[in-house]
């Protein structure tokens, strides 16, 4: 089934034309009564509402039916609000009737114990047998304030109805999903559609995001995720949202490492599931919000649907202090604030001699005293500065009697630049702020929060405008050995995929080691060769700067002695003699098989940098050399590869090609590939290539 068909299959669940309520209650305060009460009170739902209750002929003024079989027609969707002991039969009855979707409020399944997990699995099997989708169990359901569809028992509607708008919320947590909705409603933000997935026995939060991405009534998606149960649906949803130019603002909570199983791989131990998830979000331009406040700030700003790919910020302010604050935040976020052109600065100085016109443009309070000055200042920032986004800091002036006249001037200028993102940082009565927002302004009281939202719009724009990445390189089929191979065998596997390694030879005796060293040229590196000793340096199993034949013979004996002392049961295949590379920058390239997203590639500087600084970047496999080069250039230590402080520039193209080939190798190797560590990889001076000096390929049984 295509992703589009999969997402569209949720329409009977999320936008039904008729609905049955199993366990319907005449008491509007009970779980089985609330959905009916909400839909009746809102008065917008155009479809049929059929209560099912074997003990009543009428529920809340509506005819009630004793069973699913007795319903006058097959409902598109149903709410299941019966005890857990009756829930399985309810699913079977609905499926047999032909109902396409069900929302299960009922709890007591996989979230409780093994018996509940088994019952949940049986329900899903029953639903799938009949082609029915199941939301939940143990969920707070779904609501859409635009259509009056309230398949939920949330108490949030006791304090008010949704504000009409084009933000959709998808949340694994029902309580937090309605918390976000209520915060939005209280701020006057139009987030009127909310889906809460609960246990995700069937319908996942990724599928719900995908449905929102394809819904023409939704422009912005806000998501709250605790864990990812099914990666392909989430990836397809991210792809659908990016294709539709719909920004996703996501709170991903739960930051945990993968645990002791990660200890064998540097890549895995550094990654952790949270770092991988963040990398996947960044791949698709999904903004990770740290707080609910940030999520709503960004979602609200995104409803203007202005996403500048080359974002720059201009600021007009009445306060020099606010300008410094905004400059600091913008620099921290990587949002450019280029200066105004010199000629424009001179013209503004001619208008107000004591202004600071560089950017931020401190127009001073004079533009509030003399409205004739406000228009040329704001116009100049937009026309001469050419900024994609403009922030006006007017603070409590927006609460003064002068504000309507000032706003009239600002509106006049704004109308001439409809393609720019116009944002105000202003403190005004709620009704004034709501009126400005309804008129097309983005309003934030706090200027720091405003800059965070503006920066996010630029990142969305860059993601939407990004060209399609180059395809991953093709590699020959990979046949993994039965168990984790020795370093020499690992490098043979990698070399077959086009991954260059330092010249080396596996030597069974000292004479062979001397011959290899003389062939490569001194000095050489010598390493113990064993499939059971993966991290050789920890037992002294690596010798550097071995300078002559006598040192090779002595080193051979030393390595065997150390192996016997530290790993007496290890299988010893001999000693690996390798050409010692000089003049390159040490890097680490790695692969880790994430339990959710599959093979993930890592890049960073090698040696102590990776362990101490963790200056690394991750990406889902596979990818092409263009993506690999972007990864390489994104680390903080990239200047060391780019010729910092007189160093020779490293061969970035060769390094990127190696990383891309490693990503393709990881996919071709299949699920038995647990991890790969290439550390160090020597990125030689430009034009001289990149070579793996050490390799560990960990294979699952």
For residue 700 the two structure tokens come to 């699952």
Q: Provide the terminal-to-terminal Cα distance of the chain, rounded to the nearest Å.
A: 32
Tell me which of 157-171, 264-278, 302-316 is least confident: 264-278
Q: Angle at Cα 686 formed by Cα 683 and Cα 690, nearest 5°? A: 30
Q: How confident is the model at residue 268 (pLDDT cuts 50, 70, 90)?
A: very low
pLDDT at 267 over 60: no
CA 636 to chain centre: 20
In whole angstroms, give the CA distance from residue 541 to residue 527.
6
CB 173 within 8 A of CB 226: yes
Which tokens in the block code for residue 301? 């700003």
Any idea which residue has 């290539």 for tokens? 689
How many residues are recorded in the chain? 701
**CATH 3.40.50.261 for domain 308-465:** yes
Q: How far apart are CA 599 and CA 592, in angstroms?
A: 6
Q: Categorize the per-residue pLDDT at 294 as very low, low, confident or very high, splitting at 50, 70 and 90.
A: very high
Question: So what's the pLDDT on residue 257?
Answer: 44
Can you tell me the distance from the alpha carbon of 591 to that of 621, in angstroms, rounded to the nearest whole number? 9
pLDDT recorded at residue 609:
64
How far apart are the C-alpha atoms of 660 and 663, rounded to whole Å?
Answer: 5
- Tell me the three state secondary structure of residue 363: coil
Q: What is the pLDDT of residue 218?
A: 98
CATH code that applies to domain 585-699: 3.30.470.20
Mean pLDDT of 376-386: 98
Share of the chain above pLDDT 70, in %: 97
**Token digits for 73?**
């027609």
Distance, C-alpha 11 to centroid of its chain: 25
Are 101 and 12 contacting, i.e. CB atoms less than 8 angstroms apart? yes
- What fold, for 3-300? Rossmann fold (3.40.50)
Residue 375 to residue 389: CA distance in whole angstroms: 17
User: Strand, coil or helix: what is 617?
Assistant: strand
Residue 82 CB contacts under 8 Å (≥ 6 apart), including other chains: 22, 23, 32, 90, 106
| 536 close to 529: Cβ distance less than 8 angstroms | no
Q: Is the peptide bond before 401 cis (omega within 30 degrees of 0)?
A: no
The DSSP letter of residue 567 is -
* Euclidean distance between CA atoms 140 and 199, whole angstroms: 10
- Assess whether the region 3-300 and the region 308-465 belong to the same CATH fold: yes
pLDDT at 269 over 60: no
Query: Residue range 389-396: average pLDDT?
Result: 96
pLDDT confidence of residue 298: 98
Confidence of residue 369 (pLDDT cuts 50, 70, 90): confident
- Report, in angstroms and rounded to the nearest whole number, the Rg of the chain calculated over CA atoms: 31
Lowest-confidence segment of 124-138, 300-314, 593-607, 678-692 by average pLDDT: 593-607
Query: What's the pTM value of the predicted model, to 2 decimals?
Result: 0.92
User: Rounded to the nearest 5°, which phi and psi values hold at 317?
Assistant: -140, 155
Rounded CA gap, 396 and 445, in Å?
Answer: 9
| pLDDT confidence of residue 106 | 96
Under the banding of pLDDT at 50, 70 and 90, the label for residue 608 is: low
List, in sequence order, the alpha helices (H) in 98-245. Answer: 114-129, 174-186, 205-213, 231-243
Rounded distance between C-alpha atoms, residue 536 and residue 573, angstroms:
14
The set of residues, in sequence order, having a beta carbon less than 8 Å from that of 57 and lying 6+ positions away, is 63, 64
**Quick one: pLDDT band at residue 255, thresholds 50, 70, 90?**
low
Q: Which residues touch 387 (CB under 8 Å, ≥6 apart)?
A: 312, 313, 314, 338, 381, 420
pLDDT one-digit tens code per residue, 82-128: 999 999 999 999 999 999 999 999 999 998 899 999 999 999 999 99
Domain ranges of the chain: 3-300, 308-465, 503-579, 585-699
- For residue 248, the tally of other CB atoms under 10 A from its CB is 26
Gap between the Cα atoms of 150 and 31, Å rounded:
12
Whether the per-residue pLDDT at 361 is higher than 60: the answer is yes
Quick: pLDDT tens for 154-188. Answer: 999 999 999 999 999 999 999 999 999 999 999 99
Domain topology for 503-579: Dna Ligase; domain 1 (3.30.1490)
- Helical H runs in 253-303? 266-283, 292-302
pLDDT of residue 270: 40
What is the rounded average pLDDT of the residues 493-505?
A: 96
- Give, for 405, the enclosing helix (H) or strand (E): helix 403-415
């Amino acid at each position: 089934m295509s992703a589009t068909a999969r997402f569209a299959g949720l329409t009977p669940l999320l936008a039904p034309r008729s609905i049955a309520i199993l366990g319907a209650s005449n008491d509007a305060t009970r779980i089985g009564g609330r959905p009916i009460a909400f839909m009746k009170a809102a008065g917008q739902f155009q479809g049929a509402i059929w209560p099912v209750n074997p003990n009543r002929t009428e529920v809340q003024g509506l005819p009630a039916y004793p069973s699913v079989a007795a319903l006058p027609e097959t409902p598109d969707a149903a709410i299941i609000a019966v005890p857990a002991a009756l829930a399985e039969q309810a699913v079977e009855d609905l499926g047999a009737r032909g109902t396409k979707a069900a929302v299960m409020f009922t709890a007591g399944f996989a979230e409780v114990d093994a018996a509940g997990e088994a019952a949940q699995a049986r329900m899903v099997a029953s639903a799938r047998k009949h082609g029915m989708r199941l939301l939940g169990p143990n969920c707070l359901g779904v609501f859409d304030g635009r259509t009056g569809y309230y398949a939920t028992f949330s108490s949030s509607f006791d304090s008010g109805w949704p504000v009409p708008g084009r933000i959709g919320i998808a949340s694994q947590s029902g309580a937090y999903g309605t918390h976000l909705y209520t915060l939005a409603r209280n701020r006057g933000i139009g987030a009127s559609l909310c889906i809460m997935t609960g246990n995700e026995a069937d319908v996942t939060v990724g599928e719900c995001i995908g449905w929102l991405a394809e819904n023409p009534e939704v422009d912005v998606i806000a998501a709250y995720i605790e864990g990812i149960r099914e990666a392909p649906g989430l990836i397809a949803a991210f792809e659908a949202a990016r294709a539709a130019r719909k920004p996703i603002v996501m709170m991903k909570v739960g930051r945990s490492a993968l645990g002791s199983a990660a200890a064998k791989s540097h890549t895995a131990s550094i990654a952790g599931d949270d770092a991988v998830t963040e990398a996947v979000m960044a791949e698709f331009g999904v903004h990770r919000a740290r707080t609910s406040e940030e999520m709503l700030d960004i979602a609200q700003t995104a409803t203007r649907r202005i996403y500048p790919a080359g974002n720059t910020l201009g600021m007009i302010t009445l306060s020099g202090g606010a300008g410094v604050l905004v400059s600091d935040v913008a620099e921290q976020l990587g949002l450019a604030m280029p200066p105004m052109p010199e000629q424009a600065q001179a013209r503004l100085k001619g208008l107000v001699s004591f202004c600071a016109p560089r950017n931020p443009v401190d127009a001073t309070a004079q533009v509030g005293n003399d409205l004739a000055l406000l228009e040329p200042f704001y116009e100049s920032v937009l026309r001469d500065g050419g900024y994609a986004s403009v922030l006006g800091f007017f603070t409590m002036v927006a609460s003064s009697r002068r504000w309507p006249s000032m706003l009239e001037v600002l509106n006049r200028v704004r109308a001439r630049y409809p393609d720019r993102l116009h944002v105000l940082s202003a403190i005004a009565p709620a009704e004034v702020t709501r009126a400005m927002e309804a008129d097309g302004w983005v309003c934030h009281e706090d200027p720091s929060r405003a800059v965070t939202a503006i920066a996010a719009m630029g990142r969305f724009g860059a993601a939407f405008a990004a060209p399609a990445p180059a395809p991953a390189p093709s590699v020959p089929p990979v046949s993994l050995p039965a168990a984790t191979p020795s370093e020499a065998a690992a490098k043979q596997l990698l070399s077959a995929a086009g991954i260059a390694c330092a010249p080396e030879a596996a030597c069974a005796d000292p004479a062979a080691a001397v011959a290899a060293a003389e062939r490569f040229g001194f000095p050489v590196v010598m390493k113990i060769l064993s499939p059971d000793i993966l991290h050789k340096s920890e037992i002294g199993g690596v010798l550097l700067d071995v300078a002559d034949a006598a040192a090779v013979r002595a080193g051979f004996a030393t390595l065997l002695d150390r192996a016997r002392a530290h790993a007496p049961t290890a299988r010893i295949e001999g000693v690996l003699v390798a050409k010692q590379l000089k003049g390159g920058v040490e890097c680490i390239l790695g692969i880790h098989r994430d339990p959710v997203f599959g093979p993930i590639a890592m890049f960073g500087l090698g040696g102590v940098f990776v362990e101490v600084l963790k200056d690394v970047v991750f990406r889902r496999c596979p990818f092409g050399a263009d993506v690999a080069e972007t990864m390489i250039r994104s680390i903080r230590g990239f200047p060391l590869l780019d010729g910092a402080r007189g160093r020779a520039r490293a061969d970035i193209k060769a390094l990127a090609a190696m990383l891309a080939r490693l990503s393709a190798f990881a996919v071709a190797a299949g699920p038995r590939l647990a991890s790969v560590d290439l550390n160090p990889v020597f990125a030689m001076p430009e034009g001289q290539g990149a070579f793996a000096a050490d390799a560990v390929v960990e294979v699952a049984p």
